[in-house]
Structure 1
Amino acid sequence: MQIHLVLPGLLWPSATLLGPAADLALPGLHQLLGYGQRQIADFEPFDRQIARLFGLDTDPLPLGTLRRLGEPATMPAIDEDGDGEWLCADPVNLSFAREHLLLGEFPADDISAAEADELVAALNENFADIGRFEASTPTRWYVRLAQPTRAKLYPLHDVVGRPIKHFLPEGDDARLWQRTLNEVQIVLHNHPVSQAREAAGRRPVNSLWFWGAGQLETAPRTPMAAVQASDPVSIGLARAAGAQSSAPDPAQALAQDTLVVLDTLLRPSLQLDLDTWRNGLVALERDWFGPLAQALRSGRLQQLTLSAPGDRSTLQLRAGARDHWRFWRKPLTLDALLKSMAPPPAVQPTPDQPTQ
């Protein structure tokens, strides 16, 4: 029996600070890191790693269609072939920092359902030629395109906290989507909802971020007997593969071969929210790392594979039921691992010696 655990956000962004998990009691995780076989692989985005586990390696990946397919049953159903082409059209805030225009996400509880409904209605009134907008949650919006796009659109996770000028639409339809983005910003900036938010000292919803273009032309394949996930992309992949998915549950995961996607650390790591990230680690130790380490020691679990996509690289870990017998191996703290993965300090150039 085996479990594949995918943990985006486990690796705190390497360019920020050292010792983010200092003083946290994480014995289960530290045992797994120390006894298992570790490999540091090249950077690959979380969404692409998940899709590849399901046998999808196309470019572009139809992440908009897949995420929409994974939304709750309260949303109108779409066919497993994707029912056309969907884009994620997530509400964001653009703000200036010095000379750069930076993109920021909204926490799940920052936009009310009523605000989202009003803004989406305005988008449908002004951009019917583009497609039909809808909100699955107040912070996850979509547009079903009237015509497929050939533009290259960057995933939201790649852009958060960064200057958007490096991530504007590219490709054959780039001008269309750059112009649409500018027009959307005008409509949202001038909308009474955004004006009221700004007057109340809250960040306005002054832009959208379009991403996830592509059509689902090849059916995904289920990588393991069971899939556990709470993020809609993973759920959409499972549904498109004809597999049942359920919420992450350690006891149920130990009942059969299971792919488990735990994304609770992803948003705090992207937003550099250290307290939430540390609290999430403690919860994962209690619910997952500790029980899985014990299951390996008892032989109930034969193999655990852990994939942790980070901002510069990916940690791949494989731990077997016999690894704890390797007494010469010692537990490895997460902080020690992060320190070993951190880029070397920049070497300051020395001035040239004066010529004689």
Structure 2
Amino acid sequence: MQIHLVIPGLIWPGISAISPASGLELPALARMLGLGRHRMAPFEPLDHQLARLFGYVTPASESDSLPLAALRRLGEPSMPAPDVNSQWLCADPVNLSFAREHLLLNEFPADGLDPAEVAALIASLNETFPDLGRFEACTPTRWYLHLAAATHAKLFPLHDVIGRPIKDFLPEGNDARLWQRTLNEAQVLLHNHPVNQAREASGRRPANSLWFWGAGMLRPGTACSLSTVQSREPLTRGLARAAGVTVNEPDCREALKQDTLIVLDSLLKPSLQLDIDSWRACLVELERDWFAPISDSLRTKRLHTLTLTAPGDRGTLELLARATDGWKFWRKPLAFDALLKSLSPSPIQLPGQSPGTTSEYPAR
């Protein structure tokens, strides 16, 4: 039996002088790190890695843009499946604020916007931009635009932009002017909207901009080898649905009954927002709910193979641990804090930069 854990946000982002995992008791994670072989693979966007796992990216389609908005919309649990012949954009509400001379983008937590506020903002957007298509909100922080006409602009995923100057990520290519103009007009509308005026008056961050990304038309996924998937994350759920794979809520006990891919994203937002307290709390929960039972299953050989993939902004940590490695007594636990300190820092990659070279599994 095999388990594949995908945990974005496990690797603290950027080059930092702090030790984010210092003082945390993570014995099960340390055992798995010590038992297995690990490496840092080149940077690859999380969305691209997920699509590749589901067969949505193949050598023949490697250069094609991914319809991330349509796929994420397909994974919304409370909404009907989108029309396969329609094109969608993610139009997520964000907050823009100045830091020195830069305009920085930050997203909202899941409960950061009230449903009544969202309904009023969506209504104003639909009234102001009827020619673009139809805006809708599946959750308070996940908004979409059902496009009236296809776009071929190059748009950057929200996770690539959080906490960074937006000037490096503005729309490019065909239709770039249309979406830059729309972005500016939406900012004026949202800044002046009574909802945001009231939020600012009460000391809350306004939803003063949108972030458009993920353009594309939904296409069927190719057959993939995955039989069972667990995730709450809507893009993963959409990819599974496109590939005809059943996806369930994360449950470690059920996962250990069969080969399972599990995507756990509880660390992602805290890491992107540099919220170290929330990140540490979520890491402790992962140790209790996932790392401990998986480590015990490897030790008792109930689980044969664990693959752990942790996409980060400097590269992807890949861990391969097998139950048959248990007899290698010289392999000692490797503290997660020590692993983080050992990762050689490299500059954050901006769009258009070529990835680094792959490092091999170290001999142990």
Same fold judged by TM-score > 0.5? yes
Q: Which residue type is aligned with residue 52 of structure 1?
A: R
The CA deviation string for residues 82-104 of structure 1, in whole angstroms up to 9 with x for no partner, is x4111100000111111100001
Secondary structure of the 2:266 match is: coil
- 1:1-356 equivalent positions in 2, closer than 5 A: 1-57=1-57, 58=61, 59-73=64-78, 75-79=79-83, 81=84, 83-343=85-345
How far is 1:260 from its partner? Answer: 0.3
- Cα deviations by residue, 1:46-67 (Å, 9 ceiling, x for unpaired): 1110001011224311110000
Q: Shift of the alpha carbon at 1:192?
A: 0.4
Q: Which contiguous aligned blocks of 4+ residues in structure 1 show a shift greater than 6 angstroms?
A: none
Contact 1:18 1:338 in 2 (8 A): no
Q: CA deviation at 1:121?
A: 0.5
- Contact 1:223–1:259 (CA<8 Å) still a contact in 2? no
**Larger radius of gyration, structure 1 or 2?**
1
CA distance in 2, matches of 1:344, 1:119: 40
Contact 2:89 2:144 in 1 (8 A): yes
Structure 2: which 5+ residue stretches go unaligned?
348-364
Match of 2:362 in 1: none
Normalising by the residue count of structure 2, what TM-score does the alignment of the two structures yield?
0.92
1:213 offset after TM fit, Å? 1.0
Q: Find the residue that maps to 2:284 and give its secondary structure.
A: helix
Q: Give the superposition deviation at 1:342.
A: 3.7
3-state SS of the aligned residue for 2:212? Answer: strand
- CA RMSD, aligned part only? 1.3
Partners of 1:221 and 1:92 lie apart in 2 by 36
Amino acid in structure 1 at the alignment position of 2:81: A
Supply the distance in 1 between the matched residues of 2:268 and 2:128 (Cα, whole angstroms).
34
Q: CA deviation at 1:218?
A: 4.1
**1:217 positional shift:** 2.8
Q: Give identity over the alignment, percent.
A: 65
What SS class does the counterpart of residue 217 from structure 2 fall into?
coil
SS of 2:345's equivalent?
Answer: coil
Q: Distance in 1 between matches of 2:56 and 2:77?
A: 23
Cα distance in 2 for partners of 1:8, 1:203 equals 26
In structure 1, what is the Cα distance between the partners aligned to 2:119 and 2:170? 26
Q: Distance in 1 between matches of 2:225 and 2:43?
A: 21
- 2:222 and 2:97 mapped to 1: Cα distance? 38
Q: Deviations over 1:124-158 (max 9, x none)?
A: 00111011000011110000101111000000000
Q: Distance in 1 between matches of 2:14 and 2:137?
A: 34
| Structure 1 alignment gaps of length 5 or more | 346-356
1:77 maps to a residue whose letter is A
Q: State the partner residue of 1:352.
A: none
Q: Offset at 1:344?
A: 7.4
Instruction: Report how far residue 223 of structure 1 moved.
Output: 3.7
Q: Which residue of 1 aligns with 2:357?
A: none
TM-score of the two chains, using structure 1 as the length reference: 0.94
Aligned length: 342
Whether the aligned pair in 1 keeps the contact of 2:73 and 2:238 (CA below 8 Å) is: yes
Distance apart, 1:290 and its partner CA? 0.7
Paired AA for residue 267 in structure 1: K
